[in-house]
């Protein structure tokens, strides 16, 4: 293995970690939006909505950055992958983007509107947009994993590339997973805010989401077996196996913790579920970026570019992560909490 | 059926170009505030700490809220742009991503730093010690500069590609990172744009207080908030004119067709006139406009004998069309005209300041200052049109055509996406402006009752503004 391919492997790993970071951090965020749309009306719903709003504000900007980072690492480190994926799946990305942009706009809009009535109306748009991004981004990953994206464009029609059992099932798993991690983190937020009724409210929802995730996950495994049996085999024999098993074990564990109201480790474990899910897929696919079509080594950028991406990664580790840590530290210590006027 | 087939088969080139132009023109409005506004805010914050001036602190605090609102919008429109590279121009990134992406990869880091520290700064006013808070904010100006230099490195690569070895079919064989990042155009593009962001942010902020002055609000708070950004922006206007002139002259060698389009020069010649306004027609004559004999040649090389490149020195298929040349030319003229007006305003301001030892009192001065903000934006947009339209038909100069980079998606798809984006972007603009007007109204009411210590709330960005319980109490 020469230096260029080693660095290409490292870049692929960085890309996977970035996608994972977005899935976890963004998942918490989008999940909160899903519970917003499902909250309905009434006093309890207003309390839930206020908690969601409060919990989301600190994170939604920083989450966006993980997505941008994933995009730039992809087009710089694996230009051919980037071209092939977008040339094949642009409709999926267009819908995901629509969700992204509406969400940003309507989150802001809520703060302009006053009172629960208009907040609920804008909340509907906000909630729908929260469904679009996680579904369509994950659908794109499903389409890639199904092997329908070939170098330079799809090896089937655009619509067949975008709409397949795997793309739909990945999208549904993503919705269930975001609802799951969102509810789980909201339990933690409700506890920190000292809102016991909301703790129970979101605990019940976390249990429901656990069941939904197990059901959707099983369906997704079936579609993988149907469309890309090689990938299914790799998920349980290769590097991805520990993560596939971790997801399958941890998901019911988190559900059990919420069912019994045991408030230990549930947030970390929920993040572990979503992170393992992404890793199980990513590592099972390796060394292929496009299953059966394009390997990491084939798609890797020239050496100079890989070296720069290594420097960028080091910068993230040495400067960005401590800065993020500082933000989280301040936030947790209440330094950033402005008192009521 | 024939119509449907026609629409489906139509190339996505035109809508893709319109969409890219629209989303970039929109995003670039937010850039000067993102890059330069934090510096003005911190300067005001520093003045407040050093002079123990509560008005300066109050100004800085309010500016930080505005900064956060525009950063939130910019973050969304910036994310859209990065996806458009894939949706609209997949072949550009597929072929040159390993070089063109370098700048964007670094920009991602700058964006991250900005997102984190804007949050810390915005929500740190109350609980952090003033000095700590100020120092944490000091991450923002260098992060803005890093973001600017890296995005312009990518743009400079499109204008003067370098640092790459291309194979027989144009594919990237190897990349020299420093060579690809620091291409010829970066030096002038970077300084020209960085200074533009500081001028634009300074003038647009000052213009708000110029309007307040015209409406009779002229206390210490208003004067300070006007004078600090206005003075810096005004001082930079002559610098920008010089840097702009150097940039234009560098184009004679780097991108002769662009330079010829800017000056609507048809045939390469000495004693070339400088044409102000005017339109090139298809036979190479310029109609209308004011022509200053030999002045273009003098500007390029100080002598009327200097040879200016003409459009016809480049093959017809490799240079801007007549329409593109005219757009480039008019945009260039608009930019230079607005820049010159900025210098005139600077002279007016400093003459009064130095001879009268006070801010100008003339209503006409404040009317002009109120227009300087919008004028700077018009100049930024014109400059961007000049460099982008002037590069046509190339997406990477002399290496890849725009038409070779465009998506193979049906035109109808891109037209639909464009329509949706226009509606959504318009909605965002309405929301952002409504939010800012609400904030301004609240601040005026606060000042009227002289109880300006309440923390800012209702910001759609960053860490929480109030506890949900408190919100609950308020809304029920």
To the nearest whole Å, the CA of A199 is away from the closest chain B CA by 14
Angle at B78 between CA B75 and CA B83, to 5 degrees: 125
What average pLDDT does range B29-34 have in this prediction? 92
Closest chain A residue by Cα to residue B459: A111
What average pLDDT does range A114-141 have in this prediction? 77
Q: How far apart are CA A87 and CA A213, in angstroms?
A: 31
Closest chain A residue by Cα to residue B436: A112
ipTM for the complex? 0.88
Contact list, A72 vs chain B (CB under 8 Å): 82, 101, 104-105, 107-108
Helix A43-56 / helix A3-38 crossing angle, nearest 10 deg: 160
Say what the pLDDT of residue A111 is. 59
Interface test mutation site (partner A, options B19, B64, B73, B79, max chain A beta carbons within 10 A): B79
What average pLDDT does range B16-45 have in this prediction? 94
pLDDT(A96) > 90: yes
Least confident piece of the model among A171-185, A250-264, B180-194, B364-378: A250-264
Say what the pLDDT of residue B460 is. 44
What average pLDDT does range A273-302 have in this prediction? 91
What average pLDDT does range A291-297 have in this prediction? 89
Say what the pLDDT of residue A117 is. 57
pLDDT(B430) > 90: no
Nearest to B455 among A83, A319, A339 (CB): A339
Q: How far apart are CA B414 and CA B90, in angstroms?
A: 14
Interface test mutation site (partner A, options B22, B70, B88, B98, max chain A beta carbons within 10 A): B98
More confident of the two residues A193 and B470: A193
What average pLDDT does range A321-332 have in this prediction? 83
More confident of the two residues B186 and B444: B186
What percentage of chain B carries pLDDT values higher than 70? 92
Total-model pTM: 0.89
Q: Chain A to chain B, count of Cβ pairs less than 8 Å apart?
A: 280
Contact yes or no for B98 and A105 at CB 8 A: no
To the nearest whole Å, the CA of A273 is away from the closest chain B CA by 26
Q: Confidence band (pLDDT; 50, 70, 90) for B18? A: very high
- Expressed in angstroms, the distance from the first to the final Cα of chain B is 57
Range of the domain at B200: 10-251+391-475
Each residue of A257-271: pLDDT tens digit? Answer: 888 888 888 888 999
Contact yes or no for B96 and A304 at CB 8 A: no
Q: Confidence band (pLDDT; 50, 70, 90) for B324? A: very high
Q: Confidence band (pLDDT; 50, 70, 90) for A141? A: very high
Each residue of A57-95: pLDDT tens digit? Answer: 655 667 788 898 999 999 999 999 999 999 999 999 999
| B386 in a structural domain | no
What average pLDDT does range A194-211 have in this prediction? 90
Say what the pLDDT of residue A123 is. 65
| B137 in a structural domain | yes
Contact yes or no for B98 and A305 at CB 8 A: yes
Each residue of B74-108: pLDDT tens digit? Answer: 888 888 999 999 999 999 998 999 899 999 999 99
pLDDT(B456) > 50: no
Contact yes or no for B476 and A338 at CB 8 A: no
Contact yes or no for A316 and B112 at CB 8 A: yes
Say what the pLDDT of residue B454 is. 42
Say what the pLDDT of residue A264 is. 83
pLDDT(A275) > 80: yes
pLDDT(A164) > 60: yes
Each residue of B33-51: pLDDT tens digit? Answer: 999 999 999 999 999 999 9
| B385 in a structural domain | no
Say what the pLDDT of residue A121 is. 64
Contact yes or no for A110 and B460 at CB 8 A: yes
pLDDT(A177) > 90: yes
Contact yes or no for B119 and A339 at CB 8 A: no
Contact yes or no for A57 and B461 at CB 8 A: yes
Contact list, B83 vs chain A (CB under 8 Å): 71, 93, 97
3-state class of A290 per DSSP?
strand
Q: How far apart are CA B18 and CA B331, in angstroms?
A: 17
pLDDT(A226) > 90: yes
Contact yes or no for A336 and B119 at CB 8 A: yes
Q: Confidence band (pLDDT; 50, 70, 90) for A165? A: very high
Instruction: Count the domains in chain B.
Output: 1
To the nearest whole Å, the CA of A69 is away from the closest chain B CA by 6
What average pLDDT does range B26-34 have in this prediction? 92
Provide the CATH topology of domain A3-300: Formate dehydrogenase/DMSO reductase fold (1.20.1630)
pLDDT(A340) > 60: no
Contact yes or no for A102 and B180 at CB 8 A: no
Nearest to B80 among A87, A97, A304 (CB): A97
Contact list, A71 vs chain B (CB under 8 Å): 82-83, 86
pLDDT(A337) > 60: no
Nearest to A76 among B83, B102, B117 (CB): B102
Say what the pLDDT of residue A221 is. 92
Contact yes or no for A305 and B99 at CB 8 A: yes
Say what the pLDDT of residue A341 is. 30
| B47 in a structural domain | yes
The whole-chain average pLDDT of chain B stands at: 87
Structure letter (DSSP) for residue A318:
I
More confident of the two residues A296 and A333: A296
Domain ranges across chain A: 3-300
Nearest to A100 among B69, B79, B468 (CB): B79
């Amino acid at each position: 293995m020469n230096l260029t391919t080693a660095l290409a492997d490292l870049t692929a790993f960085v890309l996977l970690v970035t996608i994972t970071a977005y899935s976890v951090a963004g998942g918490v965020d989008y999940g909160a939006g899903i519970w917003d749309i499902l909250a309905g009306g009434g006093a309890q719903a207003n309390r839930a909505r206020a908690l969601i709003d409060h919990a989301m504000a600190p994170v939604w900007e920083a989450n966006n950055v993980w997505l941008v980072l994933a995009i730039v690492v992809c087009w710089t480190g694996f230009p051919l992958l980037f071209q092939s994926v977008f040339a094949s799946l642009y409709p999926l990305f267009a819908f995901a983007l629509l969700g992204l942009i509406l969400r940003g706009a309507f989150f802001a809009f809520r703060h302009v509107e006053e009172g629960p009535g208009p907040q609920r109306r804008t909340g509907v748009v906000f909630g729908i947009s929260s469904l679009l991004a996680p579904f369509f981004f994950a659908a794109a990953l499903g389409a890639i994993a199904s092997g329908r994206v070939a170098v330079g464009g799809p090896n089937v029609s655009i619509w067949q590339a975008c709409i397949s059992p795997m793309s739909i099932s990945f999208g549904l798993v993503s919705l269930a997973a975001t609802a799951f991690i969102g509810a789980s983190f909201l339990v933690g937020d409700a506890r920190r805010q000292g809102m016991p009724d909301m703790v129970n409210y979101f605990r019940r929802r976390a249990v429901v989401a656990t069941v939904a995730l197990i059901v959707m996950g099983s369906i997704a495994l079936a579609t993988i077996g149907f469309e890309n049996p090689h990938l299914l085999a790799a998920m349980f024999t290769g590097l991805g196996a520990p993560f596939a098993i971790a997801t399958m074990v941890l998901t019911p564990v988190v559900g059990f913790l919420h069912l019994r109201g045991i408030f230990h480790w549930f947030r970390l474990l929920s993040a572990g579920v979503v992170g393992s899910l992404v890793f199980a897929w990513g590592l099972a696919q390796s060394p292929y970026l496009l299953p059966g079509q394009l390997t990491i080594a084939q798609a890797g950028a020239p050496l100079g570019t890989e070296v720069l991406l290594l420097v960028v990664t080091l910068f993230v580790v040495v400067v960005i992560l401590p800065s993020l840590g500082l933000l989280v530290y301040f936030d947790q210590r209440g330094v950033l909490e402005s008192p009521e006027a | 059926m024939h119509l449907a087939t026609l629409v489906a088969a139509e190339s996505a080139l035109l809508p893709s170009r319109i969409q890219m132009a629209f989303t970039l023109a929109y995003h670039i409005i937010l850039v000067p505030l993102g890059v330069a506004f934090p510096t003005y805010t911190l300067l005001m914050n520093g003045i407040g700490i050093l002079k123990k001036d509560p008005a300066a602190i109050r100004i800085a605090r309010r500016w930080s809220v505005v900064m956060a609102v525009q950063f939130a919008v910019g973050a969304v429109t910036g994310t859209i742009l990065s996806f458009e590279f894939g949706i609209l121009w997949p072949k550009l990134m597929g072929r040159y991503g390993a070089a063109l992406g370098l700048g964007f990869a670094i920009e991602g880091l700058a964006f991250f730093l900005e997102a984190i520290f804007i949050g810390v700064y915005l929500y740190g006013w109350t609980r952090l010690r003033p000095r700590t808070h100020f120092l944490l904010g000091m991450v923002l100006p260098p992060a803005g500069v890093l973001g600017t230099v890296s995005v312009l490195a990518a743009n400079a690569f499109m204008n003067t590609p370098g640092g790459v070895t291309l194979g027989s079919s144009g594919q990237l064989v190897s990349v020299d990172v420093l060579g690809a990042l620091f291409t010829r155009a970066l030096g002038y593009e970077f300084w020209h744009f960085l200074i533009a962001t500081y001028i634009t942010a300074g003038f647009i902020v000052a213009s708000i207080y110029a309007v307040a002055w015209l409406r009779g609000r002229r206390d210490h708070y208003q004067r300070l908030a006007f004078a600090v950004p206005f003075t810096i922006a005004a001082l930079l206007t002559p610098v920008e004119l010089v840097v702009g002139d150097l940039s234009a002259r560098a184009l004679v060698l780097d991108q002769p067709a662009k330079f010829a389009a800017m000056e609507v020069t048809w045939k390469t010649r000495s004693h070339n006139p400088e044409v102000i306004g005017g339109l090139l027609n298809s036979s190479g004559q310029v109609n209308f406009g004011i022509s200053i004999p030999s002045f273009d040649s003098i500007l390029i090389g100080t002598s009327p004998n200097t040879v200016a490149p003409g459009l016809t020195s480049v093959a017809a298929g490799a240079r801007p069309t007549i329409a593109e040349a005219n757009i480039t030319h008019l945009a260039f003229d608009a930019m230079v005209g607005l820049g010159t007006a900025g210098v005139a305003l600077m002279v007016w301001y400093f003459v009064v300041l130095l001879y009268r030892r006070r801010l100008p009192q003339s209503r006409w001065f404040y009317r002009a200052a109120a227009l300087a903000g919008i004028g700077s934006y018009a100049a930024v947009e014109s400059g961007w049109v000049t460099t982008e339209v002037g590069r046509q038909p190339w997406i990477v100069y002399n290496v890849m055509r725009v038409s070779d980079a465009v998506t193979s998606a049906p035109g109808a798809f891109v037209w639909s996406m464009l329509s949706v984006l226009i509606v959504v972007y318009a909605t965002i603009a309405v929301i952002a402006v409504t939010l800012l007007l609400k904030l301004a109204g609240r601040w005026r009411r606060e000042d009227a009752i002289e109880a300006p210590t309440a923390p800012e709330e209702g910001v759609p960005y960053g860490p929480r503004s109030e506890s949900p319980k408190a919100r609950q109490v308020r809304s029920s």
